[in-house]
Amino acid sequence: MSFSEFTLPAALSDWKETPRIGMVLGSGLGGFVDLLENTVSVDYDDIERLPTSGVEGHVGKLHAGELAGVPVAIAQGRVHTYEGWSAREAASTVRLFHQLGANTVLLTNAAGIVNPEFSQGSWMLLSDHLNLARLSPLSGGAQFVDQTKVYDAGLRKILHNEAELAGVRLHEGVYAWVNGPEYETPAEVRMLRTLGADAVGMSTVPEAIQARALGMRVLALSCLTNFGAGISENCLDHLEVIEVGKRAARTLHRILVAAVPGISREQGKSTG
């Protein structure tokens, strides 16, 4: 029998399906779970060895159910390195999805806009990332995992097609991972732009690295909740970030529900 990092409560271990996709929902994006059918929900607290967060707007629940007829697992809420968790702990839900049998992850987050051409309240597919937190979920081991194609090109294409059909603008670009928890200074946002970033946030990269290390395919989306510091006149406000995220989430829900059957059919194809 293979090693199981997480001990599951009966409600989850009795679930008869194998999730085709494991999804992580970021700040303000949790409403997506209402679209699940035949759902089993458990608190992170009830899954032994899964860390739980105390940040407002971040719930800690694991849902298993069906979306457009496809079995999926959804992690509502994540823990962050800025709370003091390690990058490995921040990637725990991905290892849980892997333990449940998923081989594709879909990661969402709230992010600040660094590319001034992008619009607030819209979405960006990650094409690549900058790991500026310089932390890794693989630290402590010697796994020299290739990072040339972290974000699956075939899966991105499916999302672009569905966005186009729905008449929704979907940006694509480079996500810079910073540790936080404070937002950036205007000088830092200018630096990020110079380095090639299109958006900035405090999550997702540890999970993406972890997923690739486990051979899972990765699709990641940033909800562009605000302009990075100094791009607009306004100061940044966490509650506004959550509010904009909630509104933008509805647009994404439609696209994702339409995309899920295609994403699950792509199973097993290589990343690239």
Write the DSSP symbol of residue 240. H
With binding defined as CB under 6 A, does residue 115 bind ligand HPA?
A: no
With binding defined as CB under 6 A, does residue 259 bind ligand HPA?
A: no
- Nearest alpha-carbon partner for 175 in 145, 149, 153, 196: 196
Angle at 179 between CA 62 and CA 54, to 5 degrees: 40
Which stretch, 90-98, 106-114, 141-149, 256-264, contacts ligand HPA (CB under 6 A)?
106-114
Extract the runs of DSSP E, i.e. beta strands, from the chain. Answer: 21-25, 37-43, 61-67, 70-76, 104-113, 123-131, 170-177, 199-201, 217-227
The answer to whether the CB of 197 falls within 8 A of the CB of 171 is no
- Between residue 221 and residue 240, which ones bind ligand HPA under the rule CB under 6 A? 225-226, 228, 236
Nearer to ligand HPA, 176 or 219 (CB): 176
Among 200, 205, 211, 219, interactor with ligand HPA by CB under 6 A: 200
With binding defined as CB under 6 A, does residue 19 bind ligand HPA?
A: no
CB atoms within 10 A of CB 239: 10
234 is catalytic: no
Measure Cα distances from 44 to 41, 89, 228 in Å. Answer: 10, 13, 32
With binding defined as CB under 6 A, does residue 183 bind ligand HPA?
A: yes
Among 96, 105, 231, 241, interactor with ligand HPA by CB under 6 A: 241
| Region at 28 (left for phi over 0; alpha for psi -120 to 50; beta for the rest) | left
Least distance between ligand HPA and beta carbon 110 (Å): 4
The answer to whether the Cα torsion of 91, 53, 58, 182 is positive or negative is negative
With binding defined as CB under 6 A, does residue 28 bind ligand HPA?
A: no
Least distance between ligand HPA and beta carbon 245 (Å): 8
Q: Site for ligand HPA (CB under 6 A): how many residues?
A: 13
Pattern 142-181, binding to ligand HPA, x per CB under 6 A?
A: ----------------------------------------
With binding defined as CB under 6 A, does residue 100 bind ligand HPA?
A: no
Which stretch, 3-11, 60-68, 108-116, 260-268, contacts ligand HPA (CB under 6 A)?
108-116
Write the DSSP symbol of residue 18. -
**In the complex, which residues of this chain contact ligand HPA (CB under 6 A)?**
110-112, 183-184, 200-202, 225-226, 228, 236, 241
